Structure 1
């Protein structure tokens, strides 16, 4: 992935993490100093967490940092390619379900406002739909890349 995109992503994740920490700290101070909490704090923290989680997970899929089955995958080049293709297919299936069912939830309850912030309820499900679409694209890209490597391996006499 482009270094500039990764830097922007890291800044966004840092801002989301700092915002969650600051809101939680302010809410705790309010509880002990004012004897009351801010109603919107928990809701905003959950929203920020949902966005941060899907951004981070998607980055791991792009960079190949996801959990793998190295014992099987690294036996030889064939098992490595088969495991990669299976992993990308599973990623696309999960992404499809996340996108389709997330969109279904949004269409049913998306306009219902959240209790404290009055933001649309869809705000909790939009990151999942976007991540699902991204995971499908990553899966397609990964399969194409895996098959392309196979073609390159043949052209170079089987050398990796």
Structure 2
């Protein structure tokens, strides 16, 4: 089962990183185009704020998946400084894992509710469903829960 988990984690991490990289590239290209069109052509595209914001929100929540898989989220490291390796540290790390999972599950549920509530609202510039901005919450948090499960209790 461990080999399956590490393969699945590697696939999920690779997918999240590739999607994130594509999103960052698209964001950079869009921002460059907006700056060029605004200052060189004298016309700002209608979507100049809305589309880059949508992409930025999505790549952020896709990026958290890889952060959970690699355990590379910001940590103060104080636990390692205060407690030697042993049972108390493992208990606190397990509690941190459970707290992360609980928070992510809350994000899945509330993110889905917000997505459904705002789906029929249209964005101003592009007339996209407003829920697209919030759909990244349940997807990113749900895949992050999967990442936590694949990673297990390792810290």
* TM-score computed with the length of structure 1 as normaliser: 0.78
User: Match for residue 10 of structure 1?
Assistant: 17
Correspondence for 2:145 among 136, 139, 143: 136
TM alignment of 1:1-160, pairs within 5 A = 1-2=6-7, 3-73=10-80, 74-141=83-150, 145-146=152-153
CA contact (8 A) 2:13 2:65 kept: no
Question: Are residues 6 and 58 of structure 1, via their aligned partners in 2, closer, same or farther at CA, if it must alter by over 3 Å?
Answer: closer
CA contact (8 A) 2:120 2:129 kept: yes
CA contact (8 A) 1:109 1:121 kept: yes
Structure with the greater alpha carbon radius of gyration? 1
* TM-score computed with the length of structure 2 as normaliser: 0.80
Distance 2:16 2:146 in 1: 18
The alignment's C-alpha RMSD in Å is: 2.2
Question: Are residues 43 and 62 of structure 1, via their aligned partners in 2, closer, same or farther at CA, if it must alter by over 3 Å?
Answer: same
1 or 2 for the larger relative contact order (CA 8 Å, sep ≥6)? 2
Question: Are residues 6 and 103 of structure 1, via their aligned partners in 2, closer, same or farther at CA, if it must alter by over 3 Å?
Answer: closer
The unaligned stretches of length 5 or more in structure 2 are 1-5
| Count of aligned residue pairs for this structure pair | 145
Distance 2:77 2:67 in 1: 16
Distance 2:88 2:50 in 1: 45
CA contact (8 A) 1:61 1:138 kept: yes
